[in-house]
Amino acid sequence: MADPTPVIDDLRAESDELDLMVAESSPEQWALPTPAPGWTVAHQIAHLAWTDRSALLAVTDTGAFQALVEKALAALDSFVDEGAEEGAALPPADLLAAWRTGRTALDEALRAAPPGARFPWYGPPMSVASMATARLMETWAHAGDVAEALGVVRTPTDRLRHVARLGVRTRDFAYGVHGLTPPADEFRVELTAPSGALWAYGPEDAPQRVTGPALDFCLLVTQRAHRADLALTAVGPDADRWLDLAQAFAGPPGPGRPPRHHDNPPEDRGSPPEHHGNPPKPHGRPSQEAGR
């Protein structure tokens, strides 16, 4: 069984990076709109804080978590927004403190969990590594929304390997939420990491292939960019179809975002910008790693 410590460490680093982004922001900046319709910077942080608290309950108090699930099932179309609204109504300093407290408690609980532990969630139960990976993926995606609102240009890191791996592992899940049967054969996925390393998944001789920058792939599977704006290449009709369906988050298919209008096609540009266009609003259930 793989040691979950590296992904927990990377989740902490991803959260700390976002913390630095907002810690010195003015009240006016906390109220800036983000690309998610109706959500300010405060809503984004409140959503992360709310989901961290949910994850903490799943790890430490299954009875309380089950009560939360039942409440969510009674308001599937609104409970995510309601959680964000509640937190966003707090003064920024109080919201920041609550987010810090919650994510620190979750970090400690994940590190203390026994080997092989699995926790209930809004879908299939999750392992420690799965929970940390899902939280990292969502933290990175929402940090991008915050960065765009604040005019911050982020530097991608190799922590994206967790998001990329999750995007690959959720292939069949993405087909399923579209009501489609996934292909029987694995695809080959080859991604260039921010460091220049090659991340490869699937059989080397697979005829269906996806290649490109890891950043672009992560933007695609978190629906923070339109495929037309990304330098991803698909070989084979099944791989091509997957790039139109891919999502690494739980819940129904998101609306995605429209393509940007630019003069240069993706293959002619250099490193892709961290964000493009208008990202989708968060979806009906907190993110989870499907199928693991």
Looking at residue 265, what is its pLDDT?
46
Residue 199 three-state SS: strand
Nearest Cα to Cα of residue 24 among 91, 84, 93, 90: 93
In contact, 185 and 208? CB cutoff 8 Å:
yes
Q: What's the CA gap between 199 and 206, in Å, rounded? A: 16
Is the CA virtual torsion 154, 157, 163, 168 positive or negative?
A: positive
Residues 6+ apart with CB under 8 A from 176: 182
Token pair for 176: 């399923």
CA 3 to chain CA centroid, Å, is: 21
Residue ranges with strand state E in 67-149: 118-119, 126-127
Q: What's the CA gap between 235 and 16, in Å, rounded? A: 38
Looking at residue 144, what is its pLDDT?
97
Q: How far is CA 145 from CA 88, 121, 122, 255, 274, in A?
A: 15, 25, 24, 16, 10
Residues 6+ apart with CB under 8 A from 263: none
Q: What's the CA gap between 292 and 287, in Å, rounded? A: 13
Give all domains of the chain, ordered by start, each with its CATH number.
Answer: 5-150 (1.20.120.450), 160-268 (no CATH)
Residue type, 31: A
How is residue 285 annotated by DSSP? Answer: S
CA 240 to chain CA centroid, Å, is: 22
Per-residue pLDDT of the chain (292 residues; tens, 9 = 90+): 689 999 999 999 999 999 999 999 999 999 999 999 899 999 999 999 999 999 999 999 999 999 999 988 888 778 889 999 999 999 999 999 999 999 999 999 999 999 999 999 987 899 999 999 999 999 999 999 999 999 999 999 999 999 999 999 999 999 999 999 999 999 999 999 999 999 999 999 999 999 999 999 999 999 999 999 999 999 999 999 999 999 998 877 877 778 886 544 444 333 333 333 333 444 444 554 433 3
